[in-house]
Amino acid sequence: MGKKSCSGLHPQSMCPAFGGLRVLTRIDGAQVCMAADQGCLYGLTFVSQFYAARKSIISSGLMNAQISGGTMTDDLRRTIEEIALDPSVRLIPVVSTCVAETAGIAEELLPRQAGNAEVVLVRLPAFQIRTHPEAKDVAVSTLLERFGDFAASRKPKSVALVGEIFPVDAMAVGAVLQKIGVSSVVALPGTALEDYREAGRAEAVAVLHPFYEKTAALFREHGASVVEGNPIGANATAGWISRIGEALGLDAEAVRAVAQEEASKVREAMAPFSGLEGRVMVAGYEGNELPVVRLLLEAGLDVPYASTSIARTPLCLEDDRVLSMLGTEVRYRKFLEDDMAAIEEYAFDLVIGTTSLDSYAKERGIPAIYYTNNISARPLFFAAGAATVLGMLGGLLRRKEAWKTMKEYFEGTRQGLS
Ligand code: SF4
């Protein structure tokens, strides 16, 4: 399937820096100081308020005058000092985006501390970091590198979870890990700087999403065992629990029993959907799409094409291998045009995509839902995740004719009007 000629000539996703801002603004006591062009600042303030932490971003507001006049670093230092006048600010991430990075910011010219706050430079230019998931990785790894308590002794049987997950999933993970003998769990990206310090002492790190490459590399470098994958679908659930057990040297019998029990629960949860039939497309830009595809394939659905905004990383390889074996064409670093071409090529019964793609599908009478709102805002892990996702998809597939009726109705209305 070839790309259409206009591929890449328009934005394919939101500004990558948003992913970093989502991680940084949510930390208690953090006040971002932004080194960004004023136009970027407007958009990033908007998305941060709505999709991150309802916190404003403070910036010296870069314009041509600052860049060509060479005052950018001085302006930033002054802004940092002003932010630090507030004693409740404990962290000032200096987020540097495209324009500032092009002009060049020398880290050594920024303070490491101001007032009660630690100051840390987080570089997020879109010409290096292509997507918002990957910017989350940069933000998390930068904070860990600075604050992770790697020098202290490891906490026995402790786990750091890396990846934003639905709250119900976090509770389920905590309960299962406790059952196999894990003594403590810390989740990143966290809301407390302390979480980053503590994560440095974890014995094993479960990297739940494949775009946390820099974070995984940092943990490996400091001797922690990195566990890949996630508990989505029956087989992967059993495998994930076993790998955590092995990484921590937990009681093998107990771990095996819990792994089997949780996998059986997933199979039971999936049983009512065994008759589910349909051809589904999964095309998000969150970077966690592949395990969702794996779950759908495990449930017997046909997924000939899936796409994601992230690159094919070593952390994707297991899912990539399973999906390819089961006949799914996976498109990494996808363009909207790739997804639109796939809609023309395969007769999908349901599209789980991005907003622009969904409009394209609906215009053709194909049921379509937004990946972020419908998949990322639901549990995905263990039995509860399988039941929730398959329940939702089952309902949509059963009512798929409604989209055709709607299309016909609106076409009829349009003709009636003309
Ligand atoms: S120029 Fe860079 S920082 Fe500004 S909105 Fe675009 S991608 Fe984001």
- Closest residue by CA, ligand 1 atom 1: 98
CA of 306 to the centre of ligand 1 (A): 27
Of residues 205, 132, 214, the one with CA closest to residue 162: 205
With residue 260 as reference, give the H or E element that holds it: helix 252-270
Q: Over 50: is that where the pLDDT of 319 sits?
A: yes
Name the pTM for this structure: 0.93
Ligand 1 atom nearest the C-alpha of 37 is 4
Q: What is the pLDDT of residues 272-306, one digit of tens each?
A: 999 899 999 999 999 999 999 999 999 999 999 99
* CA-wise closest residue to 314 among 225, 217, 235: 217
CB 93 within 8 A of CB 43: no
Task: Provide the token pair at 208.
Answer: 């739940």
Report, as an integer, the average pLDDT of 34-57. Answer: 85
Index of the ligand 1 atom closest to the CA of residue 36: 3
Task: Please tell me the distance between residue 126's alpha carbon and the centre of ligand 1 in angstroms.
Answer: 6
Ligand 1: atom nearest CA of 97 is 3
pLDDT beyond 50 at 2: no
H or E, element range at 179: helix 167-180
At 345-375, the pLDDT tens digits run: 999 999 999 999 999 999 999 999 999 989 9
Which residue in this structure is represented by tokens 């904070």? 143
Residues with CB under 6 Å of ligand 1 are: 15, 17, 36-37, 40, 43, 97-98, 126
Cβ-Cβ contacts under 8 Å for 58 (sequence gap 6 or more): 31, 32, 33, 34, 79, 82, 83
- For residue 6, what pLDDT is reported? 52
Task: Tell how far the Cα of 17 is from the centroid of ligand 1, in angstroms.
Answer: 7
Average pLDDT for residues 311-323, to the nearest whole number?
Answer: 95
CA distance 109 to 74: 9
* Average pLDDT of the chain to the nearest whole number: 92
Structure confidence at residue 99 (pLDDT): 87
Per-residue pLDDT tens digits for 398-411: 988 888 888 888 78
CA quadruple 411, 414, 416, 418: dihedral positive or negative?
A: negative
Dist. CA 376–CA 168, nearest whole Å = 12
What number of other Cβ atoms are within 10 A of residue 321's Cβ?
10
The per-residue pLDDT for range 166-225, each reduced to its tens digit, is 999 999 999 999 999 999 999 999 999 999 999 999 999 999 999 999 999 999 999 999
Taking the alpha carbons at both ends of the chain, their separation in whole angstroms is 37
Q: How far is CA 366 from CA 75, 273, 327, 358, in A?
A: 52, 21, 22, 9
Which atom of ligand 1 is nearest to 17's Cα?
Answer: 8
Q: Are strands 329-331 and 305-307 parallel, antiparallel or unpaired?
A: parallel
Check pLDDT > 90 for residue 8: no
Phi, psi of 204 (to 5 degrees): -130, 150
Averaged pLDDT, 330-356: 95
| 93 alpha carbon – ligand 1 mean position (Å) | 18
Of 30-44, 65-79, 153-167, 249-263, the range with the lowest mean pLDDT is: 65-79
- List the domains of the chain with CATH numbers: 17-129 (3.40.50.1980), 158-269 (3.40.50.1980), 272-406 (3.40.50.1980)
Q: Is the pLDDT of residue 10 over 80?
A: no
